[in-house]
Amino acid sequence: MARRPLIAGNWKMYLTTAKAVELAEAVAASCAGLSDREVMIAPSFTALTAVAEAVAGSPVRVAGQNVAWEKEGAYTGEISPVMLQDAGAGMVILGHSERRHIFAEDNAMVNRRLLCALQFELTPILCVGETLAEREQGNTFKVVEKQLSQGVQGVAGEQMKQVVIAYEPVWAIGTGKTATKEQAQEVHGSIRNVLAGLYEKTLADEIRILYGGSVKPDNVDSLMAQPDIDGALVGGAALKFESFDRIIHFS
């Protein structure tokens, strides 16, 4: 089954509203008529509404960078799935390594967020990935499998079809040190095997697995040529129109 590639830009804690809208408009214009791939951008929460308006009518999808695990309540600092929907987001990034490592989010917390996102019909992008120390100790597959299986715990097969996985080796994020296409493919293949074990092979074959970690215009084509790499989650290079545009139009 053919998986439609997804090129996703994670703007992290960059770009105030005016700049975010300017970039979003340029991306939307460049994506007009694009139908063989999907494009998503994740601005900061404060720019979400304006960015969603800027790309309305284009194929560009908008995502939050995290979501709370309740619809509403006394959760100072959190954003609920209903609020994301209200702001115009249809997707959400979950378990990003910066959330895990700087803000101490664990697999159980990420799982609660994911279940809540699905309940409110947001498409989750579940991020997994090992640190350099974990890779050097030979624990890459173990770490990724645990993040994956605990992250999707309680998700039924039918719902799992909507979930997107992003493999982002922590040592490749923001470092300019991309995983080689072989290293990335090896982990993507193992993620698909884990999904086939948790669900069914036919389902695993439908799930998109993105690669993230220093994706740039000069490495996107070779990464995207790998059989189990179905898209990219782009940080730094998504903040500049020229580089993100080249990545969107990978060949």
116 binds ligand 13P (CB under 6 A): no
- Is 168 catalytic? The answer is yes
- Under rule CB under 6 A, residue 234 binds ligand 13P: yes
Query: CA-to-CA distance for 100 and 138, rounded, in angstroms?
Result: 20
Q: In the complex with ligand 13P, which residue's Cβ is closer, 181 or 198? A: 181
Interface with ligand 13P, residue 235, by CB under 6 A: yes
> For ligand 13P, which residue has the nearest CB?
235
Chain position carrying tokens 């809208």 = 21
Rounded least distance, CB 217 to ligand 13P, Å: 12
Task: Work out whether 215 is an interface residue with ligand 13P (CB under 6 A).
Answer: yes
Residue with smaller CB distance to ligand 13P, 179 or 199: 179
The distance of closest approach from Cβ of residue 41 to ligand 13P in the complex, given in angstroms and rounded to an integer, is 12
Which two tokens mark 34?
Answer: 């694009």
Q: Which is nearer to ligand 13P, 194 or 215 (CB)?
A: 215
List 81, 124, 129, 212, residue binding ligand 13P (CB under 6 A): 212
**Residue 96 catalytic?**
yes
The structure tokens listed for 76 are 């100072």
Total chain residues near ligand 13P (CB under 6 A): 14
Minimum distance from residue 164 beta carbon to ligand 13P (Å) = 12
Of 130, 134, 168, 188, catalytic: 168
Window 161-190: contact mask with ligand 13P (x via CB under 6 A): -------x----xx----------------
Q: Is 5 in the site for ligand 13P (CB under 6 A)?
A: no
**Residue 22: half-sphere exposure toward Cβ, Cα within 13 Å:** 9
Report the catalytic residues. Answer: 96, 168
